[in-house]
Structure 1
Amino acid sequence: MLRDDSSDDEINAVEPGQSESSSICRSLAQILEEGQNVTGAFSYMRTHPVAPNPGLHVNGLGTLGLPLSLREAAAIKACAQFAASSSTLEDASASGRHCWEISANNVRFENGGWTAFIDDTLRQVCQAFAVDYKTSAPRSVLSKLALCEPGFSSSASVVHTSGSGAIATVVVVLPSKFTGGEIRLAHGDREEIYDCSTDSLANTTVLAWFGDCTREIQPLTEGFQLTLHYELLHTNEVPPPSLFDQDQTVSRLRDLFSTWNSEKGITDTPRKVVYLLKDKYTHDQLAHASLSGTDAQHVSLLNNVGKLHEFRIGLATLVCTERGAGELQREYYGDEDWIEGANDVTMVEVDDREIEIIRLVSLDGRLICTSLEHDLKREGIPTRMIKLITSERPDKQMYAYQNSEHMSYKRVFYRTVAVLWPQWAEFELVHGPGGFLDACKRLRACNTAQPTAEDAELVEAILARTEPSTSDAVMSSVCKVALMWGDLPLWLRTVKACNAERCISAMEEENIHRAVSAFGFQPLQECLQQALQRDPSDVDTLQFLEDFRDWVSEQESSELSAIVVPWIAARRKERIDGLKGPAEVEYEALVELVLQHGDPEELERKVLPYIISSASDLVIVKCVELLSGERCNSVTVGACTRMIGELLTTVSSKVDYRPLLNSLHVLDNEDRLELLQLYIKGCVVAKRNDLLSDVWPRLKDFAGLSNSEISSHTEYTLFPLISDVAEAASDVYASEVSSLIETTVSHWLDTLGTPDVPKLAENMVLVMLEAISASKQTSLLDTRIIPIFEAEANDKQLRLLLDGLRASRSILGPIPDTVTLSLLKKWFATTQQPLNSTEAVAYIVSFDMPEACSLLFQPLLNPPVLDKSYVQTQLAILLRSICSSLATHKLSAKSPNFAPTLRAIMRHWTEKVMVPRPTDEAFRPLTALADWKCSCKHCKAARDFLLHTSEEVWTGRIGKQNRDHVIAHLGKHARFAADWKALQSRGNGEPHGVEVRKDGRIADALQWSRNRLIGLELLKAISQDEAELQTVLEEDYPSILASLQEPIAPASTASTVPRAQNVRVAQTATAPGMLPDVYMFCEPKPQGAPSRSGEQRGVRQGDAIAGPPAKRRKTTYDEKDVIDISY
C-alpha cells in the first residue's frame, strides 16, 4: 500500500535523478500509442478440449467418425490423391508418399454447429493477429482435407498463402491419435514451436500463421494426423494487414527490452512498469482471455515480444482511495431528492490518498502475489495516471456529516493494470524489495538434515540471482545449509557463484573450518589454493595460514596435521617469495606477521627489500619506527641496526626540511612533514650522529625566508617537530634541542605583528607552548615571550597567549599569578570589547582569581561621572553579565569576589534611577489601562502606543467597525490617559479611523514603572531566594526593596482594579523564600483568565468590544459514521 500525499499533477511527474526509469516509461508509452492494431504475433495455436464434431462427409466415403480410426484412415488413403509438392502443409520431395489430400469440393460438414465454431475461431485468430474484423471483413475458405501418416515431415521453407487477398493459413487438427509432428514457425529471428500430439485423441487444435513465414515439420512418428486447411481471406478494398506492418513496432519494442536488460543493476532502472488498461475488468476473474479490444492487443504485443527477452507480464487491480471534504451538488428537498443527490457528491479537497495494487495474476489467471509495492511516479504509464483515474466516476463512495456545513467524503476507484517486468526483477517483485535478503535469512533458519522441495527451490532461486552486492549473504546462508545437508557440490557451487575464490576473506575462516570438518581437507584443497593465489592481500593470506595452522593443531588429529601443515608451509613460502600486496597499506601488519612467525632473516632478506622497492619514502621511514619499538625484541641488535640503517640511508637524500613551503598540495604537505618528523626521530632513536650532524644546522637555517614564510615554517613545521623529537631525544641531544627551540622562538617573535604575516591563531600559541614544554625551556616565557607580548601585542594576541597559558598548565606547570594579572591588565587597556559585557566578565571569571575580578570591577564602579544614564547603560549590563557568568560557572552570588559589586550596583540603581518617585495620582491611568484585555490587533496597536512608545499621536485607518470597537475600549480604560476622535472615510479610498492623542502626564509614571520592573529583574538575576538576597545586599536590602514597591493607585470609579500588593506580600503569595515573577501594568492576561476582581468578564455577541469570531476548526473523518452510496 502507498499513502500518497502528492497532488494529482505530481503523480508520475518526471523528477531529477529518474532519467533511466522515466526514459523507459516514456519510450514504452510511445510505442504502445503508435503501435495500435499490433500484437507482435505471427502465429497462433489454441487447443479445444471441447469442440463440436464437424460431421465430416467425404464424397465417396460418407460421414467419417471422430476420433479417426485406422479403418477410416485407410479408406481416406484409398480415395485421396498424393499431395503435390506445392501443398501448403507438406513437401512431397522431402517426405515421400506419406500425405494424402482431398479437395474442398469433395468435403462438406453436416453439423451446423461447426460453422459457428469456425466463425468464432476466425474471430480469435483475427484478434491474435490484430486484424480489424470490421475493416478487413475477413472470411475463411476451406482449401482441403489432409491425412498424414508416420514418416511425414517437411524441411524448413517459406510458405506463401494461396489465393488473392489471403492473409493467413488456418489449420484445424481433428481428433486422432498420433505422436511427433511438431511444427516450427519462424519470422526473422523469432520462432515458435507447437506440439499438437498431446491428448490429440480427444482434442481439437487450431493452428494459424501469417503468410511468408518459415515453416518446418518434424517427422510424424506414430498414428495418423487428420487436418482441415482454411485460407483467411481479406475481402475489403483497403490493403490487407501483413507482418511487415508489425515489424517496425516489434523492432522498436525489442530494442527497448534489450536496453532495459542492459541497464540491470543501475539504481534508476525500473524493476517493472505499471500500464493502465483502457477498460475495467472483474479482478477475481482476471486473465488474458477476459481482455478485449486495444487492451488485449497491447497485452499480447508485450507478451509476444517480451518473452523473447525474458520479460513477463501480468494483470492486477489498482485501488485508489481518497478521503477529504465533500459537497452535495443538489439541495435537500426530501427523501427522494436526498437519495438521488447522493450520486452528485463531489470532492472539494483531498486530505488523504491511498493507492494499492492487489492480486497480480499471470495471463492465464494464476495468482502471483496478493499485493505489489509500487512507485507510480517512476513506473506508471500513462503520466498523471491517478489524475486520469480520479477524473471518472468512483466505483464506491461514502459520506458522513460532521455538522450542518461540513461533509467527510470517501471515494474508491478500481482500475485494471498490466504489470511488465524483466525476469531478473521477478524475485524482488514477488517477494518485495527486501525479498532476496529475506530468502537468505529463511535459509539460515533452516535446521533440517535433508532439504525439502521448498528448500531446494529456494537455494536455486538464490544462486541464480547472486550478485557481488549480495554474495556475503549468500555465502552465510547457502554454505550453512550445504554443510548441514552434507552437500559438498552445493558448497563448492556456492563459492563459485559468489566468486568467493577471489580472496580468502570472502570465504570466511569459520566457513572454511566447518567445511574441512564436514568434508575433509583434500576435497577443498584446490579451492583454497586458488583463493590464496588470487587474494591481492599479502597480510590476509599470511594471517589465514597462521590461523589455519593454529586451528589444525587444536583439532588434535595427526592425520589432518600430516596433510595440512606441510601444505601451509609451502603456501607461506610461495607467498613470501612472491609478495604483491599493497605495501602502502599493509607494511605494518606485514612486518608484524613476519616477526610473529619468528624468522628475522626472512624479514631482512625478503620483506624489507620488497617494501623499499615498492613503497613510498614515508612508508619506508615508518618501518624505522616499527623496528625501533618493543615489537622487534625477537630480532638481534645487530640485525635491527643494519635494517634501520638501510632504511634511513634510503630516504636521507629525499627529506625536505621545509616541507610546507615547497608544495602547494595540503595532503602532500602533511606527508612531507611526517616524513621529516619520522626521519629525525629515527635518527635520534638509532643514535645516527653521522646523519644528525647534517640535520641540526639545516633545521636552524632561515636564510632566504620572508616573514610570512618564517611564521608558517615555525608554526606548522618546527614547533610540532621540536615537540615530537624532544620526547624521543635522550640527554645526549638536549643541547641541540635547546638551541633549536631558542632559534625558532626568536625568529617567530621577530615576525609577530608584521604586516605580511597572518594573524596569530590559537593553534599557533598552543604548539609554541607545547614545544617549549617538551624541550624543557619554559624560562623562555619570562625572558623572551611575555615581555614581547606586553610591549607589542594587541588585545587579540594577548588573549590568545592568556588562553594558551591557561590551557597548557598541565604541561608548563603553575603559572605565577603576577604574570597572568600583568597580561590581563594589558588586555584591559587594549581590548575593544566592552568590559561590562557578558563575554568580558565571563572571561575574567573563568580565571578564578579574585584579584582579576577586582582589577575589572573597580574602574567600572568608580567612573568619572556616576549618573542615572551611566547606571542604566553600563552598570545594569555589568550586573547581568556577572550573574550570567556566575550561573555558567556554577558560582554563588554570595562570594566575596562578587557580592560587593552586585550590592553597589543595586544601591546606585535605587539612588540614581528610582528617584524622584511620581505621586500615586500619576499612576491612575496606568492602573485603568491594565484592565484592557482585548487581544485584537487594533486594540493591541492603540494600547502599545499608550504604554510603550514616546510618540504623542497615533492614527489608525482601520474601518468603521474596528474604529467603533477601539473607541469603546478607549472610553472604558483610557479616559485618564488620552484624548481621541473618530475619523471619517475620505474620497481617496481611505477608510474610517481613529486619532488618539496621549496625555503627557503619564510619561513619567510609565518611565518609573519600567525602571521599577528593570530593578526587579536585576534582583531576580542576582537570586530569587530571599535569604540569599539579604546576604548579598546586607544592610541595603530593606531600602532597595522599599524603593521598588508598586505604587498605590487612588480609588476611582473608572477602574475596578484593586490596589496593588507590595513586593513582600506578592512574594509570600507565591512560595516561601521566592521573589515574584516580573509583572508589568500593561501586560494583558491570557484570554479567558479571570479579572483582578476574580470574576470572568462575559462579552455578548454583537457588543462593540467583542473580539473577532473564532476560526473554524478543521473537521475530521470518522469511517464509523458514514452513509454508503456505492453503485
Structure 2
Amino acid sequence: KGQDSYLVAQLMPLAAEQGFFVGLANFTCHETGTADGDGGYSSYYKRRRGYGDDDDDEEVPGMEEVLDTTITVKNLVDMEGNKPAGDNEIPFDWEDLVQQDPFEDAVPDVEQYEGYMGNVSHWYKRTILIIATKETAHSILYAASYALENLRRASLERPGNPSSEDLSFANMLVNNPEKSPATLVQVARYAVLWNDLELWMRVLRASYWGHLPVDELVAGWKAFSFNRVSSSFEQLIRKASPISHGISFVQELVESGPLEDRQLAQGWSAQLVSSLLTTVEAPTVQDVPLFIETTRKQGLSYITNTLIPRLEKNPSLHDFWAALIKNLELNRASLVMSPGGSANHDDKSLVNKSSVRNLITRCLFVIITNWEHGLTTPVQSRYYPYYQSPSDTSIPSRITELAHLCVCARFLDPLTKLWQRLAKAKPLTVQENFRIIYSPLIPQLRQLLKSQKLDLASPPFLEFIQVVLGAYLRFVLGPRPDPTALMPARKLGCGCLDCKELDKFLMSTSLVQTFWRVQKIRTHLEHQMNSGRDIVTYSTIRSGSPHGLVVKRNQQAAAYQSWLQRQGQAKTFLGTIGSGSILQKVAGPRYADVLKALEGKQQFVLPWNSATPSAFNQPS
C-alpha cells in the first residue's frame, strides 16, 4: 500500500533483470518470557479477586526477560498472485532478515499472560517482502505443485524447448526428498518430451522399484534407444525386493518393448536375471521358479557351481531349500535335457540324469544339516509341568517333512544323517526326548510310509525304529524292581470305620494318603500301623484343624507301582510302531528280548546289534 507499493514497483524490473524471485509472505514472531517484577503475580490475584471487574481493566505486565523466540513464515505469494509454497511454511532464520531487530520498542499485536506461571507471550505479525535468487527459490520456497504447474504451462507454450527455469524446476522436483512417485512420472514424461536423456536417467536414479510403470520406461526406451537406457533399467530393477519382483518386472519390460529390440533385450534380460540370482543372499520360496527357469536355460552348472556354494552355509533358508528340492524333482525331466540339444543328445541326457540326482541329493544334505533352524527348544513350566508350548510338536513335523522330501526324491541316504543329528537333539532328558520328539514322530512316519506304500521295516527306517525302540525299553521303561523283595500288602486296621479306610488304602495301588482326623483317631491309626512298619510309614501335618496324618507305602512298593505305570505306557508306545506281526518284523531276532523287557523279565541291552551303534547308550 502507498509507499510500499511504489517501492515494490521500482524493485520488480531490477529483480527480473538479475534473476531474483520477489514475493510477499506472512511473518509471525512469537516471544515468551518472564513478567516484570512481582506486580504481575499480585495482579493475578487481584484479577481473580475482582470477578466483577471489566476485562478491559486488566493489564498484561511487561516482559522482563525474553526466554524463547520463534518465527514463522507462511502464505508465500508471488507478484502474480500464485502460491509457490502452497500451504507449507518457509524455512527462515533471523539472519535472513535485513532489519536485524525489527521489533525493538514495538507494541505486540497480541499479548497473553499466564499469571500462575508468571509467563508472558508476545506476538508480532507483519507482511514481509521476500527477495531470493532463483536457485534459493527453487530449492527452498517452491512446492512441488507450483513447480509442476509451471512445467505444465511451459509444455503447452514451448513444447520440446524448455527454458533454463523449466530445467531448474525439473531438477528441483527430482532432488526433493519428499517427492512422490506421481511427481517422478511427470518429470520422466517431460524428459522424454524434451529429449533430455540426462534428466530421464536422474529420474530413474531417484526412483525405487515400482515408482515408474512399465509404459513410462518403454517410452524412454523408444525415445533414447535401448543401449542408452539399459543401464538405468538395471539400476532401478536391482532395488526391487524380493528379487523375484524385480525379475518379473524385467520380463514384463522386455515383452512390452519395441519388437525390433526384442532379441537384444532378451539377451540383456537373461544376463541380468542370472546376475540378480547370483547376488541374492536370502532367496524366498517365491524365487524358486526363477532359479528353475534359469537353470533350464543355462544348464545345471549354474545352480551347482554358482548358487549352492553361496547359499548352503546360510542356516535360515529351510523353506527355500524345501521348495527348491520339490521343484527340482517336479522338473527333473526338463532339466535332464541339455540346453539347445546336441549331436550326442543321448549321452548328455544320461550325464544330466546323474547330475540332477546329485543336485537333489546335495540339496537334501544341505537342508538336513540345518534341520533345527527355526525350531525352539520346548521348556517345561515349573508351575505347570504338564503344559507344553505349541512349538513342541514342530520337531516331529520337521523330521516328517524332511523324510517326505527324501522319499519323493527316491533317495533315502540323507535320512541316515538326519537320524544321527536327531539323536543329538536332547531338550532335557531321554524321557523328555520321547515325550517331545519320538512318541509323536513314530505315528507320523508310519503314516507317511503307508501313504507312499513303503515298509516300516525297510532301511533306513528300520535302523531308526530299532534304535528308538531299544532306547525306550532300556531308559524309559527300565528294569522292573524285584517283586520278591516286596512285602505282600496286608490290612492293619481293627475293623472300625477309620481303620477300614486305612485298609482300603493299603490294598490299593496308591502310594500316599492323608487322613484328616482329630487327635484321638490319629493316635488310634498310628497304634494300628505300628505293627506294619515294614510296609508303611506315617507323619503328622500339624497345621490346620484337625491335623493331618500322612501315610506312605514304602519306597520299594512305590518304585514297583511306578514301573507298572511305565509298562502300560510302553505297551501304548509299541502299539504306535505296529501290531504284533509288524513289531516282530521290526524287532527281528531280538523280538524275544523286546517281550522279556516288556514283561519285566530282563532289561533290554543296547546297542541293538553290534553293527548298529546306539545314540542312546547313556541316558541324559
Structure showing greater radius of gyration is 1
* TM bracket, shorter-chain basis: 0.3 to 0.5
More strand by share: 1
TM-score between both structures, scaled by the size of structure 1: 0.27
